[in-house]
Chain A
Amino acid sequence: MTEIRYTKDHEWVRLDGDIATVGITDHAQSALGDIVFVELPEPGRAVAEGEACAVVESVKAASDVYAPLAGTVTENNASLAADPGVANQDAEAGGWFFKLRLAGRAGFDALLSAADYQTFVQSL
């Protein structure tokens, strides 16, 4: 069963088994504007929860993307690196950044639901 959760750093996390796919939310891409470059973590890298592990650059500025949960990077999105604009056009599907193998799903359940994330965005 696939579930999607969100973070206050404007990332989405989709869990399939013990693999979490991570990207930036549609709200985030809209706020960033035209995305022109991404820097993605290499497979095999162990990341801590909250660790800056990817970078997204718009015309105006660079922003960090954080690991929403601890885990090991299994894959990054090479097609996004080749065409960063996909993060604008398809932020919450084809514009994924990297996949993590999680140690467990306890942290995942503590992330924001879609409804809670929408409430959070509206409060900004």
Chain B
Amino acid sequence: MADAETLTVPLDAMHRGLGARMVGFAGYAMPVQYDGIIAEHLHCRAHAALFDVSHMGQAILSGPGAAAALERVVTGDIAGLQPGRQRYTLLMNADGGIVDDLMVANLDGYYLLVLNAARKHVDLAHIRAHLPDAVSLTPHFGRALLALQGPESGAVLASLAPEVAALRFMDAIETTLEGARMTITRSGYTGEDGFEIGLPAERADALATTLITDARVKPAGLGARDSLRLEAGLPLYGNDIDETTNPIEAGLGFAIGKRRKMAWNFAGGAAVRAIHDSGPARRLVGLRADGRAPVRAGAELTDAKGAPAGIVTSGTFAPSLDAPAALGYVRADLARDGTILAAALRGRAVTMRVAPLPFIPHRYAR
């Protein structure tokens, strides 16, 4: 049972009623699985899965000059983000480390930010420290956020909200669904087509019930969300990226806008530019292990000569690959696809090969 200090999401009772196994994550009681991680993962890749990600932080940035103000601390081109569009970006510290990775949507009049659960309070303070008086950042941490992901999610959601059929990957709208104002973005963190729906907490149960009543949709927990994102080659904050990693070594240079790469005028920009220009000392790569034993976060890597090569930062059994898969940092000279490394696993060495990312191709609605 949840203790007094554990927060609950609006759908807590629904999760328990569906037989979810609840675990503590970022201070919240969250469903890690319902029927089983593998079944939920494969259902998401084949049909559609509903994830409750209400622990993530939704916040609204508004006021004159909001885009320019946010650009002081993020890598993305926010001023160039058109109304109705969303962008993945990085919140930076002064040393060039990543404070968080987040989504920013321009909803024509305000920006919707979606922050990682464990970072949302840190992010709020960090961004606010850089805002002029006229720009405000207002948390809506009590709102629910549902992620409907998978190749059938478009057809499922369009049966409730026909306007979503016209959305492409990274489009964002505010609309009325089942009588409530909601934000809908065509995005997610599984590598599949899908949507994230932000809505008032008290409306979450009705919408989630409607969605899982559709035969194409099954509820899925954080376990499947983690294996799906890993197969999609998407970094997990706290595992693969943190305040000590920089965007270049993490392979997230794409999240630095072209215009931003001219001026490098964001927090930590000079440090990131130096690494961009000289090349990083290590790189985040995909890793495939020989055999079927998962090599997990923290496993140390060595090169062919037995010298330190790096460390695994995320590792699991990847259901769609039917094999173990991992992400890790390796020395830049070892980052080429096919490079053979060894991981220490329970006192023995497991052969691992650097593999192209994503492990499973993205299937976004572009």
Contacts and interface: CB of A to CB of B under 8 A. Distances in A.
Given A55-B346, A60-B223, A33 B294 contact: no
Contacts of A57: 293-294, 317
B359 to A, nearest CB: 15
A59 B37 contact: yes
Nearest to A60: B223
Given A57-B293, A59-B38, A62-B294, A36 B317 contact: yes
Nearest to A55: B346
A37 interface: yes
Given A57-B317, A60-B223, A36 B292 contact: yes
A84 B294 CA distance: 13
A37 B33 CA distance: 19
A90 to B, nearest CB: 16
A37 B292 contact: yes
Among A34, A37, A61, the most chain B Cβ lie within 10 Å of the Cβ of A34
Interface in B194-233: 223, 227
A39 interface: yes
B296 A59 contact: no
A36 B294 contact: yes
Interface residue range, chain B: 10 to 19
Q: Tell me the dominant secondary structure on chain B's binding face.
A: mixed
B293 A34 contact: no
B257 interface: no
B346 A39 contact: yes
A13 B262 CA distance: 68
B37 A34 contact: yes
B251 interface: no
A89 B135 CA distance: 57
B32 interface: yes
15 contacts: A33-B33, A34-B317, A36-B38, A36-B294, A36-B317, A37-B294, A37-B317, A39-B293, A39-B346, A57-B293, A57-B317, A59-B316, A60-B223, A62-B294, A62-B296
Interface of A: 33-34, 36-37, 39, 55, 57-62, 84
Given A33-B37, A37-B294, A59-B317, 4 more contacts: A33-B223, A36-B38, A59-B227, A60-B316
